Structure 1
């Protein structure tokens, strides 16, 4: 993904912060002069195996909504971890370590792990509780994770930073701000090749749109709205999948 596309997400975050969630996006100093070099080294290396420490950080990721095109969820690059401190301080607190170098490395590796984790994680349907900082009133609230949510998240099309442009992204930091090259789901084509994303959704869910005699899709307003509503729920669904989803490696080890 080009740097311009990713940097556009920062403006989207500013918009989202004033919307339904009302989060405060705080600029914090990384506290580690070698952070850029560590992140670049991680992005230039093969994806490491998923460890318990990676999973600890994944459980605390903050899911935001990026209002680009149709909109889609992703991980906030300014404050990717839930918590009151800077990203690096939050990471060390979550991991219960006092090692900024290791915390930086692990959080950078999580940036790369997110799409693969989401594509294969499992989560039973049911009622779950969203964290308090997910809503405007700061109160935990229930959310029903439905059978339709998982196949949509598994099929999500992610926008990611690569080894060739991660240094450009990091170069846009200010002295009082850190940027983490976190991925986000493509708001234009979130589930496939079509910009009219409901068509992709309907096919993924086994409920394809009918076609007329000329092979054109018959777009029913009621069906469109139902699928749009389901798409808007993917922010909550993604938050819960990251918090509670079982990674593929653990699924394979179960009898």
Structure 2
């Protein structure tokens, strides 16, 4: 069977974008992230003896190979077909090796280094301005979604947003400018609870004191999966942004 038929059988759809949970307008980075997210679910390391999971993993690799190649993607978008004879779809390719070339393991130190350069950067400022607009000035939602941010960062984040309002870059939304004391107090109580969870996790993991790591662990402890995934996505783009060279074909001996 061809790739489209395999997708239909294994994932219930012959649409390559649908298999990765993407829109046709998805960017290259979004295609990469969609592949990463879906392939993690069926990676051979998780179920080494599950042949169907291995087949699904290999098929996802082929889907990504097509959508990450500009010419193949254009041909698929235009005609709805894939070139089954292309090198990227050869059966002899080591898809596990290909995956590991795309997504080398990110070390804890990489995350800490990223946070160190991210906080106080123009990138963070622009992200916060976007969040302010997306969240209609609601600090609860802003703090929930802000990357690498814990309760101790709130005063700093408020100053950044207020400066943008004063400078005319943001509108003065009432949810932000007239937030009630009750709402602030409730957020502080929640932050105190999360801080306690963070300290417990740090002890369990045997991690030394550190504000940066505390914020990351706190995010995980409070189950903010989307925020942590966003952080990892940024890390992938920073440390795993090189496309792997075509893997050499492995011949059976």
TM-score normalised by structure 1 residue count: 0.29
More relative contact order, 1 or 2 (CA 8 Å, 6+ apart): 1
Q: Which has the higher helix share?
A: 2
TM-score normalised by structure 2 residue count: 0.29
Who wins on radius of gyration, i.e. which is larger?
A: 2
